[in-house]
Amino acid sequence: MKVWLNGGLVDNEDAKLSVYDHGTLYGDGVFEGIRVYGGRIFQCQAHIDRLFASAKAIRLAIPYTKQEIVDAMCETVAANAIEDGYIRLVVTRGVGTLGLSPFKCPDPSVYVIADQIVLYPKEMYDNGMAVIVAKTLRTSASMLDPGIKSLNYLNNILAKIEAIDAGVAEAIMLNEHGHVAECTGDNIFIVDSGRVVTPPLSAGVLPGITRGVVIDLARQNEIPVSEEDIPAERLYQADECFLTGSAAEVIAVTKIDDQLVGDGKAGPVTQKLSAAFRQYIASGEWD
């Protein structure tokens, strides 16, 4: 496998960062997880725009233009013969001192990995998945802008550990108000009387690229959709529930904690949106 690192392709075993890189020392950096379908980068511009917005928010100057980053991703995808796969695009603060100051890191590091990813097993896509509501709360949106897709995922990882300990693959995270925010790596939707509802960004939600696509697809299919605060108890009353994400795509949730969602199967709205998403991917009518 080849990895693009700071200007060119190297063998993956030679793709190394310094132990003094602030990405390693402090989780100081930003990233994107991006799908590749048919050798093409899915929603490329949206991902690049979000990467640069995240970097700007933490005052991290990416040392390449947007087009140069796109070219680097394309080069890495081609070098690894990826037709359907996944890109991890990372920008770290770069090498600095053992102190916190980001201004002692003159040269950010940029790397691109193009490989395969299987986030959930096929049977979960066929039959739906069980999740829990984590005790770990989502970092407050008043403390850290949830729109920043940073390298510091400890908050999410602690909730993920809860899920693994419970024998499930994912956990729903609430915010400090007891409202649903998102899962450890995915956005979440519920269906209530045929209406699709998802938490607003103000609840502590990353503006997921797939989340946005699914909202658009719902509207195109005349399925009512809204962004609303969702109290935790409303999860257990939902007719349907599903998750979205670049790696997860669209997947039904059929059990939350010890309670079945609906009849314990992927509901009709979830199935319709999942099929619409697959059709959208197959159409190739995206950048």
Instruction: Catalogue the active-site residues.
Output: 149
Dist. CA 176–CA 163, nearest whole Å: 19
Tell me which residue of 131, 133, 244 sits closest to 179, measured CA to CA. 133
Tell me which residue of 149, 157, 129, 145 sits closest to 209, measured CA to CA. 149
Residue 273: partners with Cβ closer than 8 Å, 6 or more residues away: 196, 214, 217, 218, 221, 223, 242, 250
Given the DSSP bridges, would you call strands 40-41 and 180-183 parallel, antiparallel or unpaired?
unpaired
Residue 14: partners with Cβ closer than 8 Å, 6 or more residues away: none
State both tokens at 15.
Answer: 């793709």
Dist. CA 31–CA 270, nearest whole Å: 29
State both tokens at 134.
Answer: 């984590």
Alpha helix (H) residue ranges in 108-153: 122-127
Q: Is 229 exposed, middle or buried (0-12, 13-18, 19+ CB in 10 A)?
A: middle
State both tokens at 167.
Answer: 């024998």
Dist. CA 97–CA 217, nearest whole Å: 47
Tell me which residue of 219, 177, 224 sits closest to 197, measured CA to CA. 224
Q: Which residue is it, tokens 């050798």? A: 39
Phi first, then psi, for residue 276 (nearest 5°) are -65, -40
Dist. CA 208–CA 193, nearest whole Å: 24
